[in-house]
Structure 1
Protein backbone atom coordinates (compact mmCIF):
# COMPACT_ATOMS: atom_id res chain seq x y z
CA UNK A 1 0.00 0.00 0.00
CA UNK A 2 1.09 3.55 -0.63
CA UNK A 3 1.53 6.51 1.69
CA UNK A 4 -1.66 8.00 0.24
CA UNK A 5 -3.69 4.86 0.99
CA UNK A 6 -2.32 4.86 4.56
CA UNK A 7 -3.41 8.50 4.93
CA UNK A 8 -6.89 7.56 3.68
CA UNK A 9 -7.11 4.77 6.28
CA UNK A 10 -5.96 7.06 9.12
CA UNK A 11 -8.48 9.72 8.06
CA UNK A 12 -11.30 7.29 9.01
CA UNK A 13 -10.01 6.68 12.57
CA UNK A 14 -12.19 8.62 15.06
CA UNK A 15 -9.21 9.61 17.26
CA UNK A 16 -7.63 11.32 14.26
CA UNK A 17 -10.73 13.32 13.28
CA UNK A 18 -9.84 16.90 12.57
CA UNK A 19 -6.27 16.20 11.51
CA UNK A 20 -5.17 17.95 8.34
CA UNK A 21 -3.54 16.03 5.50
CA UNK A 22 -0.01 17.09 6.55
CA UNK A 23 -0.67 15.84 10.09
CA UNK A 24 -2.00 12.52 8.79
CA UNK A 25 1.01 12.33 6.46
CA UNK A 26 3.34 12.61 9.48
CA UNK A 27 1.57 9.70 11.18
CA UNK A 28 1.42 7.59 8.02
CA UNK A 29 5.08 8.21 7.18
CA UNK A 30 6.22 7.26 10.68
CA UNK A 31 3.90 4.27 11.08
CA UNK A 32 5.23 0.76 10.70
CA UNK A 33 3.21 -1.46 8.35
CA UNK A 34 2.77 -5.05 9.54
CA UNK A 35 1.34 -7.95 7.58
CA UNK A 36 -0.02 -10.85 9.60
CA UNK A 37 -1.43 -14.19 8.54
CA UNK A 38 -4.67 -15.44 10.06
CA UNK A 39 -3.98 -16.77 13.56
CA UNK A 40 -0.88 -14.66 14.24
CA UNK A 41 -0.73 -12.74 17.52
CA UNK A 42 -0.82 -8.93 17.38
CA UNK A 43 -0.28 -8.52 21.14
CA UNK A 44 -0.87 -10.41 24.38
CA UNK A 45 -2.98 -9.47 27.38
CA UNK A 46 -0.97 -7.79 30.18
CA UNK A 47 2.00 -7.03 27.88
CA UNK A 48 3.47 -3.54 28.05
CA UNK A 49 1.89 -1.32 25.40
CA UNK A 50 3.93 1.32 23.58
CA UNK A 51 1.89 1.65 20.39
CA UNK A 52 -1.56 1.58 18.87
CA UNK A 53 -2.50 -0.49 15.82
CA UNK A 54 -4.80 0.70 13.04
CA UNK A 55 -6.41 -2.13 11.08
CA UNK A 56 -5.75 -1.32 7.40
CA UNK A 57 -7.23 -4.55 5.99
CA UNK A 58 -8.58 -7.81 7.33
CA UNK A 59 -9.92 -8.38 10.84
CA UNK A 60 -8.45 -8.70 14.34
CA UNK A 61 -10.17 -10.47 17.25
CA UNK A 62 -9.79 -9.20 20.82
CA UNK A 63 -10.32 -11.68 23.66
CA UNK A 64 -9.82 -11.41 27.42
CA UNK A 65 -8.22 -14.28 29.27
CA UNK A 66 -9.94 -15.23 32.52
CA UNK A 67 -8.68 -18.37 34.18
CA UNK A 68 -8.72 -21.14 31.58
CA UNK A 69 -11.19 -19.38 29.30
CA UNK A 70 -11.03 -16.62 26.74
CA UNK A 71 -13.99 -14.31 26.31
CA UNK A 72 -14.34 -12.67 22.91
CA UNK A 73 -14.50 -8.89 23.24
CA UNK A 74 -15.08 -8.27 19.54
CA UNK A 75 -13.79 -8.56 16.00
CA UNK A 76 -12.53 -5.35 14.42
CA UNK A 77 -11.93 -4.37 10.82
CA UNK A 78 -10.45 -1.59 8.72
CA UNK A 79 -10.31 1.84 10.31
CA UNK A 80 -10.28 0.51 13.88
CA UNK A 81 -7.59 1.75 16.26
CA UNK A 82 -6.60 -0.92 18.78
CA UNK A 83 -4.79 0.21 21.92
CA UNK A 84 -5.42 3.94 21.64
CA UNK A 85 -4.61 4.49 25.32
CA UNK A 86 -1.04 3.32 24.60
CA UNK A 87 -0.61 6.36 22.34
CA UNK A 88 -1.07 8.65 25.32
CA UNK A 89 0.35 6.87 28.37
CA UNK A 90 2.28 3.82 29.55
CA UNK A 91 -0.18 0.98 30.04
CA UNK A 92 -0.62 -2.76 29.60
CA UNK A 93 -2.77 -4.57 27.07
CA UNK A 94 -6.24 -5.36 28.48
CA UNK A 95 -6.81 -8.26 26.06
CA UNK A 96 -5.19 -10.61 23.56
CA UNK A 97 -5.31 -9.54 19.91
CA UNK A 98 -5.06 -12.11 17.13
CA UNK A 99 -5.40 -11.77 13.36
CA UNK A 100 -8.77 -13.32 12.55
CA UNK A 101 -7.98 -13.15 8.82
CA UNK A 102 -4.86 -12.19 6.90
CA UNK A 103 -4.48 -8.52 7.72
CA UNK A 104 -2.37 -5.42 7.46
CA UNK A 105 -1.88 -3.11 10.42
CA UNK A 106 -0.32 0.31 10.87
CA UNK A 107 1.67 0.43 14.12
CA UNK A 108 1.82 3.95 15.56
CA UNK A 109 4.23 4.34 18.46
CA UNK A 110 3.61 6.57 21.45
CA UNK A 111 6.73 8.58 20.58
CA UNK A 112 5.42 9.23 17.05
CA UNK A 113 2.02 10.29 18.38
CA UNK A 114 3.63 12.58 20.98
CA UNK A 115 5.79 14.15 18.29
CA UNK A 116 2.65 14.89 16.29
CA UNK A 117 1.03 16.44 19.40
CA UNK A 118 4.11 18.61 19.98
CA UNK A 119 4.23 19.77 16.37
CA UNK A 120 0.49 20.47 16.25
CA UNK A 121 -0.55 21.87 19.66
CA UNK A 122 -3.99 22.88 18.37
CA UNK A 123 -4.79 19.21 17.79
CA UNK A 124 -3.44 18.38 21.27
CA UNK A 125 -5.78 20.98 22.81
CA UNK A 126 -8.77 19.56 20.92
CA UNK A 127 -7.85 16.02 21.94
CA UNK A 128 -7.58 17.12 25.57
CA UNK A 129 -11.11 18.57 25.39
CA UNK A 130 -12.55 15.40 23.81
CA UNK A 131 -10.89 13.17 26.41
CA UNK A 132 -12.14 15.39 29.22
CA UNK A 133 -15.71 15.05 27.92
CA UNK A 134 -15.34 11.27 27.51
CA UNK A 135 -14.04 10.86 31.06
CA UNK A 136 -16.85 13.01 32.46
CA UNK A 137 -19.40 10.84 30.60
CA UNK A 138 -17.73 7.68 31.86
CA UNK A 139 -17.82 8.98 35.43
CA UNK A 140 -21.56 9.71 35.12
CA UNK A 141 -22.17 6.19 33.80
CA UNK A 142 -20.20 4.64 36.67
CA UNK A 143 -22.13 6.68 39.23
CA UNK A 144 -25.43 5.64 37.62
CA UNK A 145 -24.39 1.97 37.81
CA UNK A 146 -23.29 2.40 41.40
CA UNK A 147 -26.71 3.79 42.33
CA UNK A 148 -28.44 1.00 40.45
CA UNK A 149 -26.52 -1.78 42.19
CA UNK A 150 -26.34 -0.27 45.67
CA UNK A 151 -30.07 0.21 46.08
Structure 2
Protein backbone atom coordinates (compact mmCIF):
# COMPACT_ATOMS: atom_id res chain seq x y z
CA UNK A 1 0.00 0.00 0.00
CA UNK A 2 1.38 3.41 -1.00
CA UNK A 3 1.95 5.90 1.80
CA UNK A 4 2.56 9.62 1.88
CA UNK A 5 5.98 9.00 3.46
CA UNK A 6 6.98 7.05 0.34
CA UNK A 7 7.06 10.34 -1.56
CA UNK A 8 7.58 13.04 1.02
CA UNK A 9 11.24 12.14 1.68
CA UNK A 10 12.15 12.15 -2.04
CA UNK A 11 14.34 14.95 -3.36
CA UNK A 12 11.64 15.48 -5.99
CA UNK A 13 9.17 16.67 -3.35
CA UNK A 14 11.51 18.57 -1.06
CA UNK A 15 9.71 21.71 0.16
CA UNK A 16 6.50 20.80 -1.68
CA UNK A 17 3.20 21.35 0.14
CA UNK A 18 1.71 18.18 1.54
CA UNK A 19 -1.30 18.60 -0.76
CA UNK A 20 1.05 18.44 -3.74
CA UNK A 21 2.72 15.29 -2.45
CA UNK A 22 -0.70 13.74 -1.88
CA UNK A 23 -1.73 14.65 -5.43
CA UNK A 24 1.39 12.93 -6.80
CA UNK A 25 0.74 9.90 -4.62
CA UNK A 26 -2.78 9.52 -5.99
CA UNK A 27 -1.36 9.04 -9.49
CA UNK A 28 1.50 6.73 -8.49
CA UNK A 29 1.80 3.02 -9.08
CA UNK A 30 3.95 0.73 -6.94
CA UNK A 31 6.09 -1.79 -8.81
CA UNK A 32 8.59 -4.32 -7.48
CA UNK A 33 11.40 -5.81 -9.59
CA UNK A 34 13.51 -8.87 -8.68
CA UNK A 35 17.29 -8.87 -9.01
CA UNK A 36 18.38 -8.96 -12.64
CA UNK A 37 15.16 -7.52 -14.07
CA UNK A 38 15.26 -4.45 -16.31
CA UNK A 39 13.26 -1.42 -15.14
CA UNK A 40 14.12 0.84 -18.06
CA UNK A 41 15.47 -0.24 -21.43
CA UNK A 42 17.70 1.96 -23.61
CA UNK A 43 15.99 3.41 -26.72
CA UNK A 44 12.49 2.51 -25.48
CA UNK A 45 9.99 5.36 -25.37
CA UNK A 46 9.84 6.89 -21.91
CA UNK A 47 6.48 7.78 -20.42
CA UNK A 48 7.14 7.63 -16.69
CA UNK A 49 9.41 8.73 -13.90
CA UNK A 50 10.52 6.19 -11.29
CA UNK A 51 11.17 6.85 -7.61
CA UNK A 52 13.47 4.18 -6.24
CA UNK A 53 12.23 3.46 -2.71
CA UNK A 54 14.46 0.50 -1.80
CA UNK A 55 17.30 -1.45 -3.34
CA UNK A 56 20.08 -0.73 -5.84
CA UNK A 57 20.02 -0.42 -9.63
CA UNK A 58 22.75 -0.27 -12.26
CA UNK A 59 22.65 2.24 -15.11
CA UNK A 60 24.35 1.17 -18.35
CA UNK A 61 24.44 2.20 -21.98
CA UNK A 62 25.35 0.49 -25.25
CA UNK A 63 27.45 2.75 -27.49
CA UNK A 64 27.03 3.12 -31.24
CA UNK A 65 29.89 0.66 -31.61
CA UNK A 66 28.02 -1.91 -29.55
CA UNK A 67 30.20 -1.60 -26.45
CA UNK A 68 28.56 -1.68 -23.03
CA UNK A 69 29.40 1.12 -20.59
CA UNK A 70 28.34 1.09 -16.95
CA UNK A 71 27.41 4.65 -15.99
CA UNK A 72 26.98 3.94 -12.30
CA UNK A 73 24.87 2.44 -9.52
CA UNK A 74 21.99 4.27 -7.85
CA UNK A 75 20.87 3.57 -4.30
CA UNK A 76 17.45 4.30 -2.85
CA UNK A 77 16.10 6.89 -2.53
CA UNK A 78 16.75 8.03 -6.08
CA UNK A 79 14.94 9.34 -9.16
CA UNK A 80 15.11 7.42 -12.45
CA UNK A 81 13.97 8.23 -15.98
CA UNK A 82 13.45 11.91 -15.39
CA UNK A 83 14.73 13.05 -18.81
CA UNK A 84 12.45 10.95 -20.97
CA UNK A 85 9.51 11.59 -18.65
CA UNK A 86 9.73 15.30 -19.45
CA UNK A 87 9.47 14.82 -23.20
CA UNK A 88 9.00 12.34 -25.98
CA UNK A 89 12.64 11.30 -26.21
CA UNK A 90 13.72 7.67 -25.96
CA UNK A 91 15.42 6.30 -22.87
CA UNK A 92 19.12 7.09 -22.91
CA UNK A 93 20.22 4.12 -20.80
CA UNK A 94 19.19 0.77 -19.38
CA UNK A 95 18.45 0.44 -15.67
CA UNK A 96 18.74 -3.03 -14.12
CA UNK A 97 17.93 -4.15 -10.58
CA UNK A 98 21.00 -5.46 -8.74
CA UNK A 99 18.75 -6.73 -5.95
CA UNK A 100 15.02 -6.64 -5.37
CA UNK A 101 13.91 -3.05 -5.72
CA UNK A 102 10.67 -1.26 -4.91
CA UNK A 103 9.65 1.72 -7.01
CA UNK A 104 6.88 4.26 -7.35
CA UNK A 105 6.00 5.12 -10.94
CA UNK A 106 4.49 8.46 -11.94
CA UNK A 107 3.39 8.74 -15.57
CA UNK A 108 4.08 11.83 -17.63
CA UNK A 109 0.53 13.16 -17.93
CA UNK A 110 0.00 13.04 -14.17
CA UNK A 111 3.47 14.45 -13.49
CA UNK A 112 2.67 17.40 -15.76
CA UNK A 113 -0.49 18.14 -13.78
CA UNK A 114 1.40 18.01 -10.51
CA UNK A 115 4.18 20.31 -11.77
CA UNK A 116 1.65 22.79 -13.20
CA UNK A 117 -0.12 23.08 -9.87
CA UNK A 118 3.00 22.83 -7.71
CA UNK A 119 5.95 24.44 -9.59
CA UNK A 120 8.32 23.54 -6.73
CA UNK A 121 8.32 19.97 -8.09
CA UNK A 122 9.57 21.27 -11.44
CA UNK A 123 12.23 23.33 -9.67
CA UNK A 124 13.41 20.25 -7.74
CA UNK A 125 13.55 18.29 -10.97
CA UNK A 126 15.64 21.05 -12.58
CA UNK A 127 18.06 20.94 -9.62
CA UNK A 128 18.31 17.17 -9.97
CA UNK A 129 19.15 17.46 -13.67
CA UNK A 130 21.74 20.16 -12.90
CA UNK A 131 23.39 17.84 -10.36
CA UNK A 132 23.49 15.06 -12.95
CA UNK A 133 25.17 17.41 -15.44
CA UNK A 134 27.75 18.39 -12.82
CA UNK A 135 28.52 14.71 -12.14
CA UNK A 136 28.84 14.06 -15.85
CA UNK A 137 31.25 16.98 -16.20
CA UNK A 138 33.38 15.56 -13.36
CA UNK A 139 33.49 12.21 -15.14
CA UNK A 140 34.44 13.82 -18.45
CA UNK A 141 37.20 15.83 -16.76
CA UNK A 142 38.58 12.69 -15.10
CA UNK A 143 38.40 10.80 -18.39
CA UNK A 144 40.35 13.61 -20.06
CA UNK A 145 43.13 13.29 -17.50
CA UNK A 146 43.78 9.53 -17.60
CA UNK A 147 42.16 6.14 -17.16
CA UNK A 148 43.65 6.03 -13.67
CA UNK A 149 41.89 9.29 -12.83
CA UNK A 150 38.63 7.85 -14.19
CA UNK A 151 39.02 4.84 -11.92
CA UNK A 152 39.71 6.99 -8.86
CA UNK A 153 36.69 9.14 -9.66
CA UNK A 154 34.44 6.13 -10.23
CA UNK A 155 35.44 4.43 -6.97
CA UNK A 156 35.10 7.68 -5.03
CA UNK A 157 31.62 8.35 -6.47
CA UNK A 158 30.39 4.86 -5.64
CA UNK A 159 31.70 5.15 -2.07
CA UNK A 160 29.96 8.51 -1.58
CA UNK A 161 26.68 7.16 -2.98
CA UNK A 162 26.82 4.23 -0.57
CA UNK A 163 27.68 6.56 2.30
CA UNK A 164 24.75 8.85 1.47
CA UNK A 165 22.39 5.86 1.21
CA UNK A 166 23.62 4.66 4.63
CA UNK A 167 24.57 1.32 3.16
CA UNK A 168 26.12 -1.23 5.48
CA UNK A 169 29.91 -0.99 5.22
CA UNK A 170 29.88 1.79 2.60
CA UNK A 171 33.63 1.35 2.10
CA UNK A 172 33.05 -2.20 0.81
CA UNK A 173 32.22 -1.59 -2.85
CA UNK A 174 30.37 -4.50 -4.50
CA UNK A 175 32.26 -4.14 -7.75
CA UNK A 176 34.48 -6.53 -9.70
CA UNK A 177 37.37 -5.87 -12.05
CA UNK A 178 35.05 -6.67 -14.95
CA UNK A 179 32.53 -4.12 -13.64
CA UNK A 180 35.29 -1.51 -13.48
CA UNK A 181 36.39 -2.24 -17.03
CA UNK A 182 32.80 -1.61 -18.16
CA UNK A 183 32.74 1.66 -16.25
CA UNK A 184 36.03 2.81 -17.76
CA UNK A 185 35.43 1.44 -21.28
CA UNK A 186 38.79 -0.30 -20.95
CA UNK A 187 40.04 -3.86 -21.09
CA UNK A 188 39.81 -6.04 -18.01
CA UNK A 189 43.62 -6.24 -17.97
CA UNK A 190 43.91 -2.44 -17.87
CA UNK A 191 41.35 -2.16 -15.07
CA UNK A 192 43.14 -4.82 -13.02
CA UNK A 193 46.54 -3.17 -13.53
CA UNK A 194 45.25 0.24 -12.41
CA UNK A 195 43.44 -1.26 -9.44
CA UNK A 196 46.65 -3.00 -8.36
CA UNK A 197 48.43 0.35 -8.59
CA UNK A 198 45.87 1.87 -6.21
CA UNK A 199 46.34 -1.09 -3.87
CA UNK A 200 50.12 -0.56 -3.83
CA UNK A 201 49.49 3.06 -2.87
CA UNK A 202 47.46 1.81 0.12
CA UNK A 203 44.24 3.38 -1.12
CA UNK A 204 42.20 0.23 -1.75
CA UNK A 205 42.28 -3.51 -1.16
CA UNK A 206 41.21 -5.90 -3.90
CA UNK A 207 38.83 -8.62 -2.72
CA UNK A 208 36.85 -11.28 -4.64
CA UNK A 209 34.13 -9.37 -6.54
CA UNK A 210 34.59 -6.28 -4.37
CA UNK A 211 36.95 -3.41 -3.62
CA UNK A 212 37.57 -2.15 -0.09
CA UNK A 213 38.25 1.58 0.18
CA UNK A 214 41.07 2.04 2.70
CA UNK A 215 41.72 5.75 2.25
CA UNK A 216 38.97 7.74 0.54
CA UNK A 217 40.62 11.07 1.25
CA UNK A 218 43.81 9.77 -0.32
CA UNK A 219 41.83 8.60 -3.33
CA UNK A 220 40.38 12.09 -3.84
CA UNK A 221 43.81 13.65 -3.29
CA UNK A 222 45.26 11.38 -5.97
CA UNK A 223 42.57 12.54 -8.39
CA UNK A 224 43.57 16.17 -7.84
CA UNK A 225 47.27 15.32 -8.18
CA UNK A 226 46.66 13.55 -11.48
CA UNK A 227 44.73 16.58 -12.69
CA UNK A 228 47.70 18.86 -11.97
CA UNK A 229 50.21 16.73 -13.88
When normalised by structure 1's length, the TM-score is 0.74
**Match of residue 29 from structure 2:** 32
Query: Which structure has the greater CA radius of gyration?
Result: 2
**Match of residue 57 from structure 2:** 60
**Match of residue 19 from structure 1:** 16
Could you tell me how far apart the structure 2 residues matched to 1:20 and 1:118 are?
A: 14
Q: Does residue 41 of the first structure (1) align with residue 24 of the second (2)?
A: no
Which structure is higher in helix share?
Answer: 2
SS at match of 1:101: coil
SS at match of 2:115: helix
Between the two proteins, the alignment pairs up a number of residues equal to: 133
Could you tell me how far apart the structure 1 residues matched to 2:85 and 2:45 are?
A: 12
Picking from 113, 125, 133, the partner of 2:111 is: 113
List gaps (5 residues or longer) in structure 2.
Answer: 145-229
Runs of 4+ in 1 over 4 A off after TM superposition: none
Which structure is higher in strand share?
Answer: 1
**Match of residue 6 from structure 2:** 6
List gaps (5 residues or longer) in structure 1.
Answer: none
Structure 1 residues 19-57: Cα deviation after superposition (integer angstroms, max 9, x where no partner): 111111111221111000000010111111111111000
SS at match of 1:48: coil
Q: Specify which structure has the bigger relative contact order, considering alpha-carbon pairs within 8 angstroms and separated by 6 or more residues.
A: 1
CA RMSD of aligned residues (A): 2.8
Larger deviation, residues 21-30 vs 95-104: 21-30
